[in-house]
Amino acid sequence: MKRQAYLKLLPLDDALNLMLATFSASPLTPERIPLNQARGRTLAENAVARVSSPAFHGAAMDGVAVIAETTFGASERRPKTLRVGSEAHWVNTGRPLPAGANAVIMVEDLTPGQTADGKETVAIEKAAFPWQHVRKLGEDLVATESVLPPGTVIGAYELGALGAAGLLEPLVFRHPLVDVIPSGSELMPLAEAGPDRLAAGDKLPEFNSLVLSALVEDLGGLAAAKAIVPDEPELIRAAILNSVRGPADLVVINAGSSAGSHDYTAGIISQLGELLFHGICLMPGKPTALGRVEGKPVLGIPGYPVSAVIAFEELGQALLAHWQNRTRPQRPQATARPFAALPSRPGLEEFIRVKLGRVEDNLIAVPLPRGAGTVTSLSRADGIIRVPAPTEGLPADQPTPVSLIRTPNEIEGALLAIGSHDNALDLADSFLRHRFPGYRLTSAHLGSLGGLMALKAGRCHLAGSHLLGPDGVYNSAAVAEHLPERPVKMVRLADREQGLILPPGNPSGLHTLADLARPGVTFINRQRGSGTRVLLDWQLKQLGLSPDDLQGYENEEYTHMNVAAAVAGGRASAGLGVRAAATALGLSFIPVGVEEYDLVIPLSYWADPRIKALLEVITSSEFKAAVAALGGYDLTANGVIR
Amino acid sequence: MKRQAYLKLLPLDDALNLMLATFSASPLTPERIPLNQARGRTLAENAVARVSSPAFHGAAMDGVAVIAETTFGASERRPKTLRVGSEAHWVNTGRPLPAGANAVIMVEDLTPGQTADGKETVAIEKAAFPWQHVRKLGEDLVATESVLPPGTVIGAYELGALGAAGLLEPLVFRHPLVDVIPSGSELMPLAEAGPDRLAAGDKLPEFNSLVLSALVEDLGGLAAAKAIVPDEPELIRAAILNSVRGPADLVVINAGSSAGSHDYTAGIISQLGELLFHGICLMPGKPTALGRVEGKPVLGIPGYPVSAVIAFEELGQALLAHWQNRTRPQRPQATARPFAALPSRPGLEEFIRVKLGRVEDNLIAVPLPRGAGTVTSLSRADGIIRVPAPTEGLPADQPTPVSLIRTPNEIEGALLAIGSHDNALDLADSFLRHRFPGYRLTSAHLGSLGGLMALKAGRCHLAGSHLLGPDGVYNSAAVAEHLPERPVKMVRLADREQGLILPPGNPSGLHTLADLARPGVTFINRQRGSGTRVLLDWQLKQLGLSPDDLQGYENEEYTHMNVAAAVAGGRASAGLGVRAAATALGLSFIPVGVEEYDLVIPLSYWADPRIKALLEVITSSEFKAAVAALGGYDLTANGVIR
């Protein structure tokens, strides 16, 4: 079978319109279901009240029901006595008035008594006006009135309105049924993907079908995740045919739609039916394909998780919404300033996942990793910036629209930390959220110097930093140099052991930084501006070594953990980083020194309640115990303020 | 048993803090569940990656895996040939690289060949650089790294991150269990509340437990709606004890907490345990009570549906969120201008439900009925304005915060119609949403003149009007008088029959408007400024009658349907309104004339796409057929523009 080149890249809107036009008719037969099963379903009718609510004139207070006219003339000086049972009738809140009654007098305004012959009476000192304390028939709803329009998603409030209207069996769309077919010989079922099996390194765990099923359910659908189909055209063809001939309304085949040699989906769709498009101007998500097979839509979406999500949200969810005559849940919009320029390939509309923080009235957007394989760029994102197809990207700091994944309140409660990466910051976020719901710590890892520069530009609330100065003191010199006009405090988070991160058992027998210059040793470095890089360069200088003496000096990673991963995966035979990263991956570690890790906080935020909360959290004994358990931290100086 | 006076009205925040302090410890034992059942659950742990993702260096393209260094020197002029199986290994996207390989060359860049002895080769014209087209181990996640903080609600993206991290059994909070006990002798189960039973007019349908259960489920809880308990202290006591001794974490008793004679809840809580508060400065929701019985929280909330919802959202949902270490879903905030002054009782924080529309850059808020019994004021609301307790209300037009119930996009897509009520407007909304998803027609019923005044003040997009002029022509004179500086177009929606709405069979034998002056006849009027009122006054004048001649002239309703309901419920023996309203409730109708109902649209909105869409909808044959089916409409002049 020949490889399938992209037919033509369609703009996203064109793809959407073509899809909606082709599959305009909804296959979702409406059905009547009991109201107590209707939560989350979508109304298929203009719901019209069967009964009025309330269906009778009822008491709005506990007291007696009367004919108002019979009370006229009552006053403090001339109270009027009403006979219970004929002129006045006890009635409780919510109960119907007796026929003819048109007012209620509150129990508080009644003086009980009795007639000479022992019959119960009540005396009143004020006349009732007609319809006082009466909940009138139809006050909320009149029978035949429209209650809710079609396309309404039924939630708590709607259940109340339908219940009040006597609509005990609303007409709703049946659940859309979606088959999700994962395809690819490189995949194994998630249930088999235990740590041992993953460590074997032969297959990737298949979790996209779980994610796609949740996206189907978010739109009121029911998803069937099918078995993984290997990269064999016959098997893929059979799986598609099996699904389109089954109950599914929409068939999603995941992976197999890019233009690689094993990407058969588009070709198979062409053979089995009609290929509507293959390739859209969307990143991630470009290789998306859509066809019609035996009358049903077959959507081929790429295998990388972020591509799969974005393609399914933009197309699959749109189709499910259309069939149910409802709108897709839409994210609130805001205006953010990109922290850095966001270059993007012209001709593709790019969805960039960003972290967000409100700093000095500006919403700052820090981009997350842009690879289509980084599913955490979705779970960690606060928002998404769409870079329009015609542009080459967005300049830094230019106000730009962003769709919010978190609620505006969550974003306003976030402290944006930019700077050096430390595992303890993730812990601080956990502890902060737990102790102060509504607050969170959002961090972006741009190195110590990157953090100070962000503080200088007013683009973060605080910066984690461990920059060794020429005087051998941490952070003071760098702060003095880069933030001369911005008074700050430095709060010690911890002292950390830095050292050589080595494969388990230290097979190359390295013992000092000088050993990195030995032939055959490959090093993995941190990026320029990181505290670890500064430490390395300082130490190399002390040893009389130059960067050229280290093989791999030019290969950079952005976090301690990624340095450790590079060593664990055999990309390098040594790196420099904190002990916690080595411990985490079961690697060997040889200390080369202890460094001071400070949180640098501008005085202007010192009184901010979120900063106060953070400082309370990071100096708590629970937090310190949790950090100590990571290994390689000395918390003696924790909380020291300079 | 004595009536229970409110102990003391607590501010809402104080009530909330007291509740959270008293029930601070979460009863929700965490549990491990399979990942594919985790959607909607809340993480009870700091989720830390068990494995790296990917767990190996894998191919990011289909092609051959190589050791980059062996390809150095290849060029177009001096291609290099690699032996497949030793120097190059076929590899598909996502599959692991063979040990030692550190780059992938795309299949597109390979020229297949073979050696003299028939072994497979590939030729390349360009060197590979190290790690090209490789998805590196740990690129997305490194084992032991924090993936998601505790308190995260697991949705589609989080399922992806947990799956990638090998967390196949995340630790989540067990579902909070909530017993909802409806109480009140006036209630009947919803299942019994068919139209016949409701028409019998003896009991109210109990739908609050359905609404409250949905609100529990919205926060990840499981609700058990218990049987209705009559207003008898022993039975209420037994129901509470039964629930606190069962599995429920929170017991909600609905109704029975106001200060009326049958409101026993607070007293029973005091007897069984400790009453923390009874009565909060909240409207609707004032009579809310909270206590502790056998260690468990018992929340008594009022019976009126809007009170029940607001009290449960503000307290019950807050407690469920706290126990799961998560934040409550928060509504986006916006700034709106109240259409009219919103008076409010000082000392109570009032939640006013409003309709919203963006008109000339201002978000206009039109209040919905404020009664605690109008559940449709929630289902129809676009937002909620909170009037702070210390104030006497909010002045008209003053920018004020509003919580949005609809998404901002839905609100921006809404046309705000203010003016005369007509059932056909509800139909127009249904048709508009169906044909133009994203657009909606929001109407507020303030009478024809109210609509023109709103147009004049720039507070709505269009107005429905049927104002008979002194010249006998509809709307022209009123528009000329009230909108001299605002050019508008008038589009005829329909001609409507107006007439006497009478009890079935016309028992009083009324035949003309003059008969309304007969002794014993009680009239129900429409409000000042409504077209129907203008028509009545005009006709009375023609007949030489004065308002004083009609008994009930001073009793006003705001819609045709409410006039019909007043007649149907025996509050009046005649009203004036459109035939559709009489037909809807099975009432008699005697026409007194035909009137013209126009949509008055400012020229400045004439080109607005929403207006264009609306005009397309209301002149469509489907819409006209649906309106004709209501009865009493003549659509001959539909769409005529003046």
pLDDT digits (tens, 9 = 90+) for B496-548: 999 999 999 999 999 999 999 999 999 999 988 888 998 899 999 999 999 99
Residue closest to A28 by CA, chosen among A322, A329, A299:
A322
| Residue A2 reports pLDDT greater than 50 | no
A189-224 confidence digits (pLDDT tens): 988 887 777 767 678 889 999 999 999 999 999 999
Residue B3 pLDDT class (50, 70, 90 cuts): very low
Confidence (pLDDT) at A558:
82
Residue whose tokens read 């009947």 = B188
Question: pLDDT of A336-349, one tens digit each?
Answer: 999 999 999 999 99
Cβ <8 Å between A161 and B378: yes
Reduced to 3 states (helix: H, G, I; strand: E, B; else coil), residue B474 is: strand
CA atoms in the 13 A half-sphere facing the CB of A328: 15
- Partners of residue A140 in chain B, C-beta under 8 Å: 369, 371, 373-377
- Contact by Cβ (8 Å): A147, A167: yes
Query: Helix count (H) and strand count (E) of chain A?
Result: 18, 37
Q: Which tokens hold the place of A341?
A: 């320029």
User: Nearest to residue A156, comparing CAs of B320, B407, B308?
Assistant: B308
**Is the pLDDT at A6 greater than 80, yes or no?**
no
- pLDDT for residue A522: 93
User: Is the predicted pLDDT of residue A523 greater than 50, yes or no?
Assistant: yes
Residues 327-366 in A contacting B (C-alpha not used; CB under 8 Å): 327, 329-333
Q: What is the pLDDT of residue B259?
A: 47
Measure B401 CA to nearest chain A CA, in Å.
Answer: 14
Instruction: Say which DSSP state A68 is in.
Output: G
Give the Cα separation of B497 and B560 in Å (integer): 12
Give the model confidence (pLDDT) of A30-42 as tens digits. 999 999 999 999 9
Report the candidate in A95, A118, A122, A99 with the shortest Cα–Cα distance to residue A110: A122
Contact list in B for residue A131 (CB cut-off 8 A) is 571
| Chain A partners within 8 Å of B440 (Cβ) | 149
Q: Which residues of A touch B99 (CB under 8 A)?
A: 570
**pLDDT confidence bin for A136, thresholds 50/70/90:** confident
Of A277-291, A370-384, B46-60, give the lowest mean pLDDT range: B46-60
- Give the C-alpha separation, A295 to B343, whole Å: 59
* CB contact residues (below 8 A), chain B span 221-260, against chain A: 231, 258, 260
Interface A–B counts its CB contacts (< 8 A) at 395
What band does B6 get if pLDDT is binned at 50, 70 and 90?
low
Phi and psi torsions of B201, nearest 5°: 70, 30
pLDDT at B1: 38
Indicate yes or no: CB of B149 within 8 angstroms of CB of A92. Answer: no
The dihedrals phi and psi of B55, each to the nearest 5 degrees, come to -85, 0
Chain A residues with beta carbon closer than 8 angstroms to that of B141: 376
Give the mean model confidence (pLDDT) for residues A64-82. Answer: 92
Q: What's the CA gap between A172 and B491, in Å, rounded?
A: 34
pLDDT on residue A3: 40
Two structure tokens written together for B235: 């039975």
Task: Please tell me if residue A96 touches chain B, with a CB cutoff of 8 Å.
Answer: yes
- Residue reference for tokens 């990269």: A231
Q: Which B residues in the span 619-638 are in contact with A, Cβ-Cβ below 8 Å? A: none
Radius of gyration of chain A (CA): 34
- Rounded mean pLDDT, B202-228: 94
Class of domain A58-135: mainly beta
Residue type, B57: H
**What pLDDT band is residue A80 in, cutting at 50, 70 and 90?**
very high
Per-residue pLDDT tens for B623-637? 999 999 888 899 999
Top-ranked range on mean pLDDT: pick from A108-112, A351-355, B53-57, B567-571: A351-355
Q: Which chain A residues are Cβ-neighbours of B381 within 8 angstroms?
A: 157
Q: What is the pLDDT of residue A521?
A: 93
Contact A207 B164 (CB under 8 A): yes
pLDDT at A203: 81
Please determine, for residue B461, whether its predicted confidence score (pLDDT) is greater than 60: yes
Residue A286 pLDDT more than 80? yes
Assign A1 a pLDDT band (cuts: 50, 70, 90).
very low
Given B210, B260, B430, which is nearest A46 (Cβ)?
B430
Can you name the residues that pair with B593 across neighbouring β-strands?
Answer: B498
| Sign of the dihedral through C-alpha A223, A225, A226, A231 | positive
- Let me know: does B494 contact B450? Beta carbons within 8 Å: no
Pairing mode of beta strands A111-114, A171-173: unpaired
Interface of B with A in 452-511 (CB under 8 A): none
Q: What is the mean pLDDT of residues B218-228?
A: 97
Which residues in chain B have Cβ-Cβ distances shorter than 8 Å to A570?
A: 57, 99
The distance of B147 to chain A (nearest Cα, Å) reads: 8
User: For residue B150, which residues of chain A lie inside 8 Å, CB to CB?
Assistant: 430, 433-434
Type and span of the H or E element at B160: helix B156-164
Residues of B in contact with A573 (CB under 8 A): none
By the CB < 8 Å criterion, does B5 face chain A?
no
Summarize pLDDT for B372-400 with one digit per residue, the tens: 889 999 999 999 999 999 899 999 999 99
Q: Average pLDDT for residues A507-534, to the nearest whole number?
A: 91
B208 shares contact with chain A (CB less than 8 Å): yes
Q: Is B437 within 8 Å of A326 (Cβ atoms)?
A: yes
pLDDT at A260: 53
Averaged pLDDT, B52-63: 85
Residue A145's nearest CA partner among B367, B445, B491, B464 is: B445
Residues 127-186 of B with CB under 8 A from A: 130-131, 135-151, 155-161, 163-164, 166, 168, 184-186
CB A10 within 8 A of CB A18: yes
Question: Residue B55 has what pLDDT?
Answer: 82
3-class DSSP assignment, residue B2: coil
| A435 has a chain B CB within 8 A of its CB | no
For residues B504 and A63, what is the distance between their CA atoms, to the nearest angstrom?
Answer: 32
Please tell me which of the candidates B190, B217, B409 has its beta carbon nearest to residue A39.
B217
Q: Residue A307, SS3?
A: helix
The minimum CA-CA distance between B375 and chain A, rounded to whole Å, is 6
Q: Smallest Cβ distance to A156: which of B39, B107, B218? A: B218
- Residue A245: burial class (beta carbons within 10 Å; 0-12, 13-18, 19+): exposed
Q: Please judge whether B190 and A163 are an interchain contact, meaning their C-beta atoms are less than 8 angstroms apart.
A: yes
Supply the pLDDT for residue A100.
81
Stretch B603-614: mean pLDDT: 96
Cβ–Cβ < 8 Å for B136, A571: yes
Distance CA(B477)–CA(B483), nearest Å, equals 10
User: Which of A44-58, B159-173, B346-360 shows the lowest per-residue confidence on average (mean pLDDT)?
Assistant: A44-58
CB B111 within 8 A of CB B82: no
Q: How confident is the model at residue A4 (pLDDT cuts 50, 70, 90)?
A: very low
Residues of B in contact with A184 (CB under 8 A): 94
Q: Please tell me if residue B107 touches chain A, with a CB cutoff of 8 Å.
A: yes
CB neighbours of residue B191 within 10 Å: 12
Q: Does domain A12-27+175-323 have CATH number 3.40.30.10?
A: no
Q: What token pair was written down for A355?
A: 């972290």
Question: Using 50, 70 and 90 to split pLDDT, how confident is the model at B262?
Answer: low
Of A168-182, B200-214, B300-314, which range is least confident?
Answer: B200-214
Residue A411's contacts (CB-CB under 8 Å, 6 or more residues apart) are A334, A356, A357, A358, A363, A382, A383, A404
> Does the domain formed by B333-404 have CATH 2.40.340.10?
yes
Residue A233 pLDDT exceeds 60: yes
Question: Sorting pLDDT into bands at 50, 70 and 90, what band is B258?
Answer: low
Q: What is the mean pLDDT of chain A?
A: 91
Would A58-135 and A422-634 be classified into the same CATH topology? no
Domain ranges of chain B: 12-27+175-323, 30-54+139-173, 58-135, 333-404, 422-634
Q: Which residues of A touch B109 (CB under 8 A)?
A: none
Share of chain B above pLDDT 90, in %: 69
A289 within 8 A of A258, measured Cβ to Cβ? no
Q: What residues of B are in contact with residue A92 (Cβ under 8 Å)? A: 185-186, 231, 260-262
Is the CB of residue B448 less than 8 Å away from at least one CB of chain A?
no
Under the banding of pLDDT at 50, 70 and 90, the label for residue B260 is low
- For residue A632, what pLDDT is reported? 86
Which tens digit of pLDDT belongs to each residue from B435-448? 888 899 999 888 89
Partner-chain contact A142 B333, CB within 8 Å: no
Which CATH class name applies to B30-54+139-173?
Answer: alpha beta
Show Cβ contacts of residue B180 under 8 Å, excluding neighbours closer than 6 positions.
B208, B209, B212, B213, B216, B223, B224, B225, B226, B252, B254
CA end-to-end distance (rounded Å), chain B:
68
Is A149 in Cβ contact with B430 (below 8 Å)? yes
SS3 B68: helix
Q: Does residue A188 sit at the B interface (CB-CB below 8 Å)?
A: no
Is the confidence at residue A261, as pLDDT, over 60? no
* Percent share of chain A, pLDDT over 70: 97
A422-634 belongs to which CATH class? alpha beta
- How big is the CA angle at A53 (ends A47 and A56), to the nearest 5 degrees? 145
B434–A141 C-beta distance less than 8 A: no
Of all helices (H) and strands (E), which one includes residue A336? strand A333-338
Nearest to B328 by CA among A335, A413, A574: A413
Global confidence as pTM: 0.91
